[in-house]
Structure 1
Amino acid sequence: MAFQQGLSGLNAASKNIEVIGNNVANASTVGFKQSRTEFADVYANSLGGGSASKIGIGTKIAAITQQFTQGNISNTNNPLDVAINGNGFFRMSDNGTITYTRNGQFQLDKEGFIQNATGQRLTGYPMITSPSGERTVNQGALVELQIDASDIPPRTTTSITGPLNLDSRAEVKDPALFNIADPATYNHATPIEVFDSLGNSQSVQLYYLKSDVTASPASTTWTVMASANGTSLGQVGTMEFDGSGMNPTMTLSPLSIPLTSGGLSPMAVNLNLTGSTQFANSFSESELAQDGYAAGRLSSFSVGADGSILGRYSNGQSAVLGQVALANFRNLNGLQPLGDNQWAETSDSGPPIVGVANSGGLGVMQSYRLEESNVDLTAELVNMITAQRVYQANAQTIKTEDQIMQTLVNLR
């Protein structure tokens, strides 16, 4: 009878409106994935087999599936707001219970763990420090990520490197007359800051004197002098150029810097000026660098595209503090929704495929970003109107059947 068909239609339309209402309610929920109602028709079984005139007995809800399409990415001012652009879920731990989410709104707790609004902790790969002091990520067992806010220790300068150009037009200077306080006794000078074992800054100055020129074969010798903290260290080497002005023969000794700051003294710093030239151009340095730095405090951090958490320190250095892990599943609709923007693994979803962002089919991470809900509010409101009309039509079916029944009752 039409009552049964109409009643099934009312129930299905009512559930559809509930699904649409839930989508609309979560249009502003970060990382929310909209749901869709999927219907199926219903036929009664027959002992005699199929029939060309068989009439169905209504409809039913076959499934309510979530649509894991990408939501829009919006900007924020929080470095721990992280969006996934592409496939994958954040892997969260609640005292060892693992759940998965697309909501990247994170903050630090008092112990430095990265957690969400409900206190679940983000998991990933930890940072380890090698015996040489280098910080690297251990992509082994997954742990709850914790930001190490301790100071980065100083690193003693062991070498000064950098090619430079010495002006071939410079006048010859007598090394015996060299005086760090008299610029007329040298041709060029280069200051550079180095660091001792305690991270104290030491001021080093390198001086270049054009000390000898021969015509045949063409050869020019430059004497390299040095000073540290205003005290002359004397001659530390020579650089001899041929007529090409390139690939000099260098004899450079390490700088022996006496310290009064409490660091390990004397401090030995090697000189490496490979690539230097002698052309008829003004004195210049392509890049003069040293490998030491002072102690530094963590000043800021951000998450890179591959999930690496990069810390920046007050001494200008940066170091990886850990790496966020992502997980993906073969059957996303097999995941169990838990609420609070969380899903759980099930036998239908299959085991998680865990890796780092931007590899193995996983999406990239974007710091200072959030993935918005993928609900299309306009489309949902149109769907709601359609569902309302379907509900009304099924109600009309019941009303019509009632009128037919009333007509039969009134027959005489």
Structure 2
Amino acid sequence: MAFQQGLSGLNASSMALDVIGNNVANSSTVGFKAANAHFADVYANSLGGSGATQVGIGTSIAAVQQQFTQGNLTSTSNPLDIAINGNGFFCMSTANSALPSYTRNGQFHVDKMGYIINDQKQQLMGFAALADGTVPVAGTLTALNIPPGTMAPRSTDAALSGNMTAVLNLDSRQGVPTVATFDPSNPQSYNYSTPLTVYDTLGNSHAMTMYFARASAGGPWNVYATLDGVSATTPPTAVGTLTFNSSGVLTTTPTTLTMPSWTLSTGAVSPWSPGKMDFAGTTQFGSTFSRDRVTQGGYTTGSLTGVSVAADGTVQGNYSNSQTKGIGRVALATFQNPNGLLSMGNNQWQAVEAVSGQANIQAPGAGNSGLLQSTQIEESNVDLTKELVNMITQQRNYQANAQSIKTQDQIMQTLVNLR
């Protein structure tokens, strides 16, 4: 029986060395998870035997368990290199298989059709953005695709742009301009001016300038506006009036003034108005004129210049007009028993529901899912020093089992040589 025991030990040590060798070979494989060989003793069934007299007949490999511990994160220069910091797997789809696969290797790039893929041409799955650019946190899994073409412009007066805003301080010490009739070409006819770039319905930019002229000593301020240096009316008329109380607080109600309409020759909607300017927060204190904030929500057309991925999985397109647009959200899958996953090679696993449980698909950061880190990759979690020590241990085990076979052989030879 010692032959069988020694042989089982040789087989078990050999398989353990295979596991160690595979770990060492993949010590530089991105997203690889190290495995451990689990041993179990072997006993023969006996109807009349008892624990006091049983002798084992060897050992066997009970299981090879992967260790899904976190690997170190390393920075890269590719914004589509994504590391998972915590639990979860990327969901991948391929045209050659109806079943999704799962991976921790986040080295992605874009194919000619705009899909985010890995080195095996599998597509990264997630939740697609809605038509208005809103990125959902759940929904139907779909292959994430970076849309081609340019971003359409948005005019300053569009509903999504909101009102223009201006937060200013008009110096209360100022008097009435020396020239009574407003003329944008004559600085003596107004106290202050401030410019703002606005966009028409085709995304053409226009220089809108607002002018502020004191109507009377200690009194309100008349507001005028020009577009590309042209007044909307001849002679120019005030857009409205801003009135302040004795504490310098704006009392004009509502705080918005509607800009006039101008005739355009750009092919955009004409006549056209940039919309309403909200002066909420504007003051009249005894200090110099200041422009704290002047904003508008329109923009011109833009070309895609890059892609970024946020910690919550949001994939955004970055455009040449300084705008961003939601493309989708990377989805992560978690499992009740990751060791029940079936290894497919290429750092891919497939779910075996009877063992691993069903995939729980959710956004990064939701539930027990980890967060994402862009321009990072997750290194193999193999501890090379530990594996080399384990290799020495298994080598000694192999030698010891070989020695037990050799000793049994010598005993048998002695019995054969008895006279």
**Partner in structure 1 of residue 312 of structure 2:** 306
Identify the match of residue 240 of structure 2 among 234, 237, 243. Answer: 237
Match 1:256 to one of 227, 246, 261: 261
TM-score, reference length from structure 2: 0.93
Match among 83, 100, 106 for residue 104 of structure 1? 106
Q: After TM superposition, list the pairs within 5 Å mapping 1:170-189 onto structure 2.
A: 170-173=174-177, 176-189=180-193
Q: 1:329 corresponds to which letter in structure 2?
A: F
Select the residue among 315, 322, 331 that pairs with 2:328: 322
User: How many angstroms apart in 2 are the aligned matches of 1:51 and 1:335?
Assistant: 37
- Other-structure match for 2:4: 4
Residue aligning to 1:279: 285
Distance 1:84 1:160 in 2: 41
Distance in 2 (alpha carbons) for counterparts of 1:112 and 1:41: 54
Per the TM alignment, residue 409 of structure 1 is displaced from its structure 2 partner at its CA by 2.4
Contact 2:195 2:208 in 1 (8 A): yes
Counterpart of 2:350 in structure 1 is: 344
Residue 135 (structure 1) aligned with residue 133 (structure 2): yes
- 1:162 aligned residue: 166
Q: For structure 1, list consecutive stretches of 5 or more residues without a partner in the other structure.
A: 215-219
2-side partners of 1:364 and 1:166: how far apart?
Answer: 48
**1:408 aligned residue:** 415
**Larger mean Cα displacement after TM superposition, 50-59 or 167-176:** 167-176
> Which of these residues, 228, 250, 271, is aligned with residue 266 of structure 1?
271
Cα-to-partner distance string for 1:220-249 (whole Å, 9 max, x where unaligned): 311111111111243111111111101322
1:397 matched to 2:404? The reply is: yes
Residue type matched to 2:332 in 1?
A: L
1:71-150 alignment runs, 5 A limit: 71-95=71-95, 96-129=98-131, 134-138=132-136, 139-150=138-149
Matched residues, percent identical? 52
Q: CA contact under 8 A between 1:74 and 1:371: conserved in structure 2?
A: yes
Q: Would you say 1:202 and 2:206 are equivalent positions?
A: yes
Confirm or deny that 1:152 pairs with 2:151.
Answer: yes
Match of 1:217 in 2: none
1:370 aligns with 2:367: no
Give aligned pairs, total: 403
**Whole-angstrom distance in 1 between the partners of 2:73 and 2:32:** 13
Q: Is the 8 A contact 1:255 1:270 kept in 2?
A: no
What does the per-residue CA deviation read over 1:33-86, in whole Å, with 9 as the maximum and x for residues that have no partner? 111000011111111142313221111100001111111111111111111111
CA–CA distance in 1 between the matches of 2:322 and 2:272? 23
Letter in 1 for 2:34: Q
Question: In the alignment, residue 133 of structure 2 is paired with which amino acid?
Answer: R
Tell me by how many angstroms 1:181 deviates. 1.6
The residue number in structure 2 matching 1:190 is 194
Most deviating of 383-392 and 261-270 = 261-270
3-state DSSP of counterpart to 2:149? coil
- Residues 250, 284 of structure 2: 8 Å contact kept: no
1:28–1:372: 8 Å Cα contact kept in structure 2? yes
For 1:72-120, what per-residue CA distance to the aligned partner results, in whole angstroms no more than 9, with x for missing partners?
A: 1111111111111111111111124311111111111111111111111
Residue matched to 1:224: 223
Q: Secondary structure at the match of 1:288?
A: strand
Using the alignment, how far apart are the partners of 1:102 and 1:13 within structure 2? Answer: 29
| Secondary structure class of the residue paired with 1:128 | coil
CA distance, structure 2, for counterparts of residue 175 and residue 391 of structure 1: 104
Structure-2 separation of matches of 1:161 and 1:136 = 24
Residue 175 and residue 260 in structure 1: after superposition, are their counterparts in 2 closer, same or farther (change >3 A)?
farther
CA 92–3 in structure 1, closer or farther in 2 if over 3 Å, else same: same
- Long gaps (5+) in structure 2: 158-162
Cα distance, 1:175 vs structure 2:
7.0
Aligned residue type for 1:249: T
Partner of 1:289: 295
Q: What SS does structure 2 have at the residue aligned with 1:68?
A: coil
| 8 Å CA contact 2:225, 2:259 repeated in 1 | no
The Cα offsets for residues 95-150 of structure 1, whole Å up to 9 and x where unpaired, read as: 24311111111111111111111111111111221xxxx22235321111111122
The equivalent of 2:160 in structure 1 is none
Structure 1 residue 6: deviation in Å? 0.9
Relative distance call for 1:191 and 1:289 in structure 2 (3 A) is: same
Q: Report the Cα distance in structure 2 between the residues aligned to 1:154 and 1:175, rounded to whole angstroms.
A: 40
Counterpart of 2:359 in structure 1: which amino acid? P
Could you tell me which amino acid in structure 1 is paired with residue 169 of structure 2?
A: N
Q: Take 2:197 and 2:31, find their aligned partners in 1: how far apart are those partners?
A: 49
Secondary structure of 2:266's aligned partner = coil
Greater strand proportion: 1
Q: By how many angstroms is 1:411 displaced?
A: 2.8
* Separation of aligned partners in 2, 1:253 and 1:309: 37
How large is the RMSD of aligned CA atoms in angstroms? 1.5
Quick one: which amino acid aligns to residue 135 of structure 1?
A: G
How far did 1:282 drift? 1.6
Note if contact 2:175-2:216 (Cα within 8 Å) is conserved in structure 1.
Answer: no
What letter matches 2:343 in structure 1?
A: P
**Structure 1: how far apart are the matches of 2:139 and 2:365?**
18
Is residue 84–residue 364 contact of structure 1 (8 Å, CA) maintained in 2? yes
1:183-241, CA deviations, whole angstroms, 9 ceiling, x for partnerless residues?
22211110000000010001100011122235xxxxx3111111111112431111111
Q: Report the more deviating stretch, 226-235 or 355-364.
A: 226-235
